[in-house]
Amino acid sequence: MKKILVIWLLFISGFTFGQEQLTRILFILDASNSMNAHWEDQTRLEAAKELLAQTVDSLKDIPNLEIALRVYGHQSPITATYQDCNDTKLEIPFGQGNHDKIKYRIKSIQAKGTTPIARSLEAAAGDFPDQNSKNIIILITDGIEACDNDPCVIAKKLKDKGVKVTPFVIGLGMDLSYLEKFNCIGPYADAETKDAFRNVLKNVISKALGNTTVQINLNDINQNPKETDVTMFLYEAGTNNLLYTFVHTINRYGNPDTLIIDPNYKYDLVVNTLPKVEKKNITIQKNTHNIIPVDCPQGFIKVRFINATKPYQIDTRVMQESNPVTLNVQKMNTTDKYIVGKYNIEVLTLPRTYMTVDVTQSSTVTVDVMAPGFLTYRAGNSVNAQVFVIRDTGKPEWVCNIDATTLTGSWQLQPGNYRIVYRQKNLRSSSYTIEKNFRIYSNKTTSVNL
């Protein structure tokens, strides 16, 4: 099944960064018959026309910018025996203030024919008045090449003519194996919904109009930018003014995603790892590709019961070895990611379970905890009572107090030897103190009568 995609082609000839130079954007719209199929609550063509019209509107007040419109598949209906592979036409040529003309023409386009992508790209190279401007093509289509030409061959021909081609491919809900076919001409990204398409198209336009890009490298212990999938905040430096929020992404080529941010600010970066990593007073250099390295080597802590027969609800406090403040409360039988280093672990069992772990790069350190058992008690009269665990040294260690206002109750305790010390509340002499020893086993209940 065909899906909608966008291809961004940047034709550069004689362009150098930093010039106040004319930019020309040529939109190529697919009006082939398959664009009549539904996508979300519209046809593909209706959605494409709507988004394209919004984009054209947004470009009205951009200085040093001209736009044009080419359409294919809109003149000759496709039949079972015929497809017109020359059905491609420059509908609105480049010019100043032609935005309304383009929007008006877009409105009347109907989907009829085939999908001559290669021939449209080849013809598009001649749509630009000259190669002295920054020349960009944005192709909106839902299909693969339907005629006899190969877009990769056309790209090579353009390069052979001295025109540098840098494509940007956005597939919407497409089979990624098809998107791989665009490897011959450049990188690609995908967006599966109309809203995602709108955002990605906006990002493409931003890249087309500016030469300043940013790549944030979250480096591992070997200074390789392999860490990812974490939220990043970019604040105006020295303030609480949050300007950008991104979830860090590694693209299909194994590189950090390219971002478009305003170079007119200095930034404070917060990477929301555990613990968070901050980088202050970052300057973005205009008219170039900026790389911001941040050391974020990470590994994993996994907390689990090794013999539980039921889902016990016990939390675990995780703290940096050098900082007693709770960094994270981790659920049992979960795995969380942490910056490389030593951590103190407090499992909120009764009695508490403590240990120190060492998180190393890309490895998982496992905290194994024995499953608890249960103490149930019943008293004939109200009692003042406390429960103690008997450690290997034989020394009692306090665990919990029994509620003096109830005659029955239960506690979830770790396996081991225990002692309950109590006195009936109405007996006013310490000589009435009673001790009872008992043992707790994982997943089992021990009952004590007081």
Q: For the domain that residue 158 is a member of, what is the CATH number?
A: 3.40.50.410
The per-residue pLDDT for 60 is: 87
Assess whether pLDDT exceeds 80 at residue 210. no
**Mean pLDDT, rounded, for 72-92:** 91
Is 392 in the same domain as 442? yes
Kindly report which listed range (16-25, 181-190, 291-300, 396-405) carries the lowest average pLDDT score: 181-190
Model confidence, pTM: 0.68
CB 350 within 8 A of CB 418: no
Domain count across the chain:
4
Q: Single out the residue in 209, 234, 267 at which a domain terminates.
A: 209
pLDDT exceeds cutoff 90 at 71 = yes
Does residue 332 surpass a pLDDT of 70?
yes
The average pLDDT across 203-218 equals 80
Of 116 and 448, more confident: 448
Q: Are residues 136 and 68 in the same domain?
A: yes
What's the mean pLDDT in 309-317?
A: 93
CATH number of the domain residue 358 falls in: 2.60.40.1120
Last residue of a domain, one of 241, 263, 295: 295
Give the Cα separation of 162 and 83 in Å (integer): 32
pLDDT for the residue numbered 260:
81
| Range name among 48-52, 217-221, 302-306, 317-321 with the lowest pLDDT average | 48-52
What residues contact 46, with CB distance under 8 A and at least 6 apart?
none
Contacts (Cβ under 8 Å, ≥6 apart) of 352: 346
Report the pLDDT averaged over residues 297-326: 95
pLDDT at position 140 over 90: no
Residue % of the chain over a pLDDT of 70: 85
The rounded percent of the chain whose pLDDT value lies above 90 is 56
User: Which of 191, 209, 227 delimits the end of a domain?
Assistant: 209
Please answer whether residues 87 and 109 qualify as being in contact, where contact means their C-beta atoms are separated by less than 8 angstroms: no
Distance between alpha carbon 33 and the CA centroid of its chain, in Å?
A: 35
36 and 151 in a single domain? The answer is: yes
Closest listed residue to residue 374, CA positions, set 312, 332, 317: 312
Both 59 and 115 in one domain: the answer is yes
pLDDT tens profile 150-194: 767 776 766 665 554 444 444 444 555 555 555 565 555 565 677
**Domain assignment of residue 346, given as a range:** 298-369
- Asked if residue 365 and residue 231 are part of one domain, the reply reads no
* 223 residue type, one letter: Q
Residues 39 and 153 in one domain: yes
Q: Read off the amino acid at residue 262.
A: D
Instruction: Give yes or no: residues 23 and 119 share one domain.
Output: yes
More confidently predicted of 217 and 79:
217
Per-residue pLDDT for 2 more than 90? no
Taking the C-alpha atoms of residue 41 and residue 87, their distance in angstroms, rounded to an integer, is: 28
Higher pLDDT, 303 or 1: 303
Do 236 and 303 have their domain in common?
A: no
Query: Is residue 70 domain-shared with residue 171, that is, in the same domain?
Result: yes
Tokens 């995609």 sit at which residue? 5
Q: Give the pLDDT confidence score for residue 184 in this predicted structure.
A: 62
Return the SS3 of 378.
strand
Q: Are residues 377 and 276 in the same domain?
A: no
State pLDDT tens for residues 230-272: 999 999 999 999 999 999 999 777 889 888 888 889 999 999 9
pLDDT tens digits, one per residue of 20-51: 578 888 898 989 888 888 877 888 889 889 98
Instruction: Look at the block and give the residue holding tokens 């959605």.
Output: 47
Q: Are 46 and 130 part of one and the same domain? A: yes
Query: 355-386, pLDDT tens digit by residue?
Result: 999 999 999 999 999 999 999 999 999 999 99
Between CA 446 and CA 410 the distance in angstroms is: 10
pLDDT on residue 160: 63
How many Cβ atoms from other residues are within 10 Å of residue 267's Cβ?
24
Same domain, 201 and 234: no
User: End-to-end alpha-carbon separation of the chain, Å?
Assistant: 73
Query: For the residues 281-286, what does the mean pLDDT come to?
Result: 92
CA 166 to chain centre: 25
CA distance 308 to 325: 29
Q: Which of 8-17, 73-82, 86-95, 135-144 has the highest mean pLDDT?
A: 86-95
- Give exposure, 59-72, as e/b (b: 16+ Cβ within 10 Å): beeeeebbbbbbbb
- CA dist., res. 123 & res. 91, Å (int): 12
